[in-house]
Amino acid sequence: MSSVDSEGMLISERVEHRRFRTIEHGDLRSVRALVVHQTDAPTAQHTFNGYLAKGSGAHFLIEKNGVIYQTASLKKRCYHVGRYLRSKCLAVDKTTCDTPQIQTIQALTWTLQIRALDRYERTKDYPERYPMNADSLGIELVGKHLDAARYEEVTAMQNESLRWLVSELYGHFRLTPADVYTHPQISYKHPGEASSAVWQ
């Protein structure tokens, strides 16, 4: 079992703290969901080097050998979701969409459509929409992007660590398996990212 200290760091012998304040952007007031990513880098060190510059990042990083690093406080917001949210009602159950509104948006050109859908989705509360940076934690798995559709296979040790980490976070934030997403599910990313991640 793990605990969370006053700084928002997960305390467990399974977690190494490697906090980068450069990737923390203000307070994260609630955690409603988890988003699983792959780094597109060959080692954890490559990602740490990138984190030294102020910018995007996630709360955890799992190395290929299964070592779990916590890279940002659970009380701080990280930019890991990306610019535009996909529509959850369109992906999951079209009958739950506000049809006239969606029809107006779908009549737009693709670029305008992505922006309008994002604005529309942000008017909803989670879980009616996908999670955003403001209400989710990001978990990165080390792994390279191979081609248009594929990333390196997530290793068995990474998946074992991911399962452990996710179950600890379920307990700390009262989440369920329905609150865990892969990055391409919720925003516009290469479809292969984290596709071989298994947490159940």
- Residue ranges binding Zn ion (CB under 5 A): 37, 183
Using the minimum distance from each CB to Zn ion, give the nearer residue, 24 or 193: 193
Using the minimum distance from each CB to Zn ion, give the nearer residue, 31 or 105: 31
> Taking the complex as a whole, how short is the minimal distance between the CB of residue 193 and Zn ion, in angstroms?
5
> Taking the complex as a whole, how short is the minimal distance between the CB of residue 36 and Zn ion, in angstroms?
8
Helix (H, G, I), strand (E, B) or coil at 164: helix
The residues, any chain, with a CB within 8 Å of residue 109's CB and separated by 6 or more, are: none
8 Å CB contact between 71 and 19: yes
Q: What DSSP letter does each residue of 78-141 carry, written as one string?
A: ---S-S-BPPHHHHH-GGGS-HHHHHHHHTS-HHHHHHHHHHHHTTSPTTTS---GGGEEEEEE
The residues, any chain, with a CB within 8 Å of residue 159's CB and separated by 6 or more, are: 197, 198, 199
> Taking the complex as a whole, how short is the minimal distance between the CB of residue 189 and Zn ion, in angstroms?
6
Using the minimum distance from each CB to Zn ion, give the nearer residue, 37 or 59: 37
Using the minimum distance from each CB to Zn ion, give the nearer residue, 35 or 105: 35
> Taking the complex as a whole, how short is the minimal distance between the CB of residue 45 and Zn ion, in angstroms?
19
